[in-house]
Chains A and B, each alone.
Chain A
């Protein structure tokens, strides 16, 4: 294939990402388990890049976990999402920035449903109006927050204090990128690179100096999958998927994993603890586990932010081995201290610490 043809085909795999004025919707999991990620995203967008990002305090869960767990009907979730669009309209915004991959999948699924089944859109308008008296417009642009970081990856690279290079060896860090299934596997046109060549995380890593690890189960599910996790007795299925993925990446000796999905991040992080307890297996070098970071946490590290301000201590697998490789200076005694210097309780059984 000629170069021009290649370029043309690749252009078809790109998506349009808004430049400014975002209506930001948070993630249930991320704001609870990795609070530093969303905090840093807002700080980066507002204070560093000078963008307008608005959060509405009336925003609620998208009910995606209940929907994929078969307890929330489709008409209900459509009305909940319609309410979010109504809040966006009331606040005067047209571009929605979604923090969660599940919510992103829900938003895109519903937009596609309304496109192909306009009667569903009319029904939802009626439900929302009767329930709340609100009206809504469809968004002009739907972007996942990883899309936005991807768009501004070079601006972040220009401010890099610690590029993704192993200071001990001088080699680029080996990074596994894991993209949530609901990002682009359902509706490829909404993801950068589509379902076949999702570039959203690999683009960031390469731009910040790291090396992407390509391994056999690169596109395998993390194991979360909602329904198979919600019932305790079924969790072995979820765990087995995670083991398959980690066993596949282990020979390539990754230094870290980055994900753009809250569920993937939580499960790849916490299942490493479970696997270690159950089977005594670890997947990193020297018997350590592999740190699992969000893309915002990685961006924050690259830009030289304090790892404890980014909330790395809230992960099950601790990041100290990675911080040493990157040459980042940190104070271990500050790890579990509040902003005003009070000591918080130190969790037991943390891995890699």
Chain B
């Protein structure tokens, strides 16, 4: 790459046409309860990790549905899979399984090791 003394900033626009939805499709096939999520944030409020870091399961769900996988890949490393989020979910989403399946999909589709 030629050195010009400046770099290109990627646009912050969410491009649904270009984003990769394969990870969320993989999860939805195996855990359809993710469709019930209303992004109320109870999971994030109950989350121990979220108490000490910027981790938010609600954000993970939104990012997954948008296909913004780069952010999800980094963030889900913080989840301890404790399952407190499942206990408080008013819609009965198996949130722990969503994280588990996301990790599985990243490993299967992209060969990414957690």
A residues at B contact (CB < 8 Å):
232-237, 239-240, 243-244, 274-275, 277-279
Identify the closest chain A residue to B18 (Cβ).
Answer: A247
Q: Is the CB of A279 within 8 A of B6?
A: no
Residues on B with C-beta less than 8 A from A278 are: 1-2, 4, 7-8
Most chain B beta-carbon neighbours within 10 Å: one of A233, A244, A278: A278
Q: Is the CB of A240 within 8 A of B4?
A: no
Most chain A beta-carbon neighbours within 10 Å: one of B1, B2, B8, B10: B8
Closest beta carbon of chain B to A163's beta carbon, Å: 35
Closest beta carbon of chain A to B13's beta carbon, Å: 8
Q: Is the CB of B6 within 8 A of A277?
A: no
Q: Is the CB of A235 within 8 A of B5?
A: yes
Q: Is the CB of A240 within 8 A of B8?
A: yes
Q: Is the CB of A244 within 8 A of B11?
A: yes
29 contacts between A and B (CB under 8 A): A232-B5, A232-B6, A233-B5, A233-B6, A234-B6, A235-B4, A235-B5, A235-B6, A236-B7, A236-B9, A237-B9, A239-B6, A239-B8, A240-B9, A240-B11, A243-B8, A244-B11, A244-B13, A274-B2, A274-B4, A275-B8, A277-B1, A277-B4, A278-B1, A278-B2, A278-B4, A278-B7, A279-B1, A279-B8
Residues on B with C-beta less than 8 A from A233 are: 5-6
Q: How would you classify the secondary structure of chain A's contact residues: helix, strand, loop or mixed?
A: helix
Residues on A with C-beta less than 8 A from B11 are: 240, 243-244
Residues on A with C-beta less than 8 A from B9 are: 236-237, 240
- Interface size range on B against A: 10 to 19
Residues on B with C-beta less than 8 A from A244 are: 11, 13
Closest beta carbon of chain B to A274's beta carbon, Å: 6
Identify the closest chain B residue to A244 (Cβ).
Answer: B11
- What are the 6 A-B residue pairs with the smallest beta carbon separation, nearest first? A277-B2, A236-B6, A235-B6, A240-B9, A232-B5, A236-B7
Residues on A with C-beta less than 8 A from B8 are: 236, 239-240, 243, 275, 278-279
User: How far is A234 from B1 in the complex, measured between Cα atoms in Å?
Assistant: 18
User: How far is A279 from B1 in the complex, measured between Cα atoms in Å?
Assistant: 7
User: How far is A240 from B4 in the complex, measured between Cα atoms in Å?
Assistant: 14
Closest beta carbon of chain A to B9's beta carbon, Å: 4
Closest beta carbon of chain B to A228's beta carbon, Å: 10
Identify the closest chain B residue to A239 (Cβ).
Answer: B8
User: How far is A279 from B7 in the complex, measured between Cα atoms in Å?
Assistant: 10
Closest beta carbon of chain A to B1's beta carbon, Å: 6
Residues on A with C-beta less than 8 A from B10 are: 240
Closest beta carbon of chain B to A236's beta carbon, Å: 4
User: How far is A234 from B13 in the complex, measured between Cα atoms in Å?
Assistant: 20
* Residues from 1 to 46 in B contacting A, C-beta threshold 8 Å: 1-2, 4-11, 13
Residues on B with C-beta less than 8 A from A279 are: 1, 8
Closest beta carbon of chain A to B5's beta carbon, Å: 5
User: How far is A274 from B4 in the complex, measured between Cα atoms in Å?
Assistant: 8
User: How far is A234 from B4 in the complex, measured between Cα atoms in Å?
Assistant: 11
User: How far is A166 from B108 in the complex, measured between Cα atoms in Å?
Assistant: 48
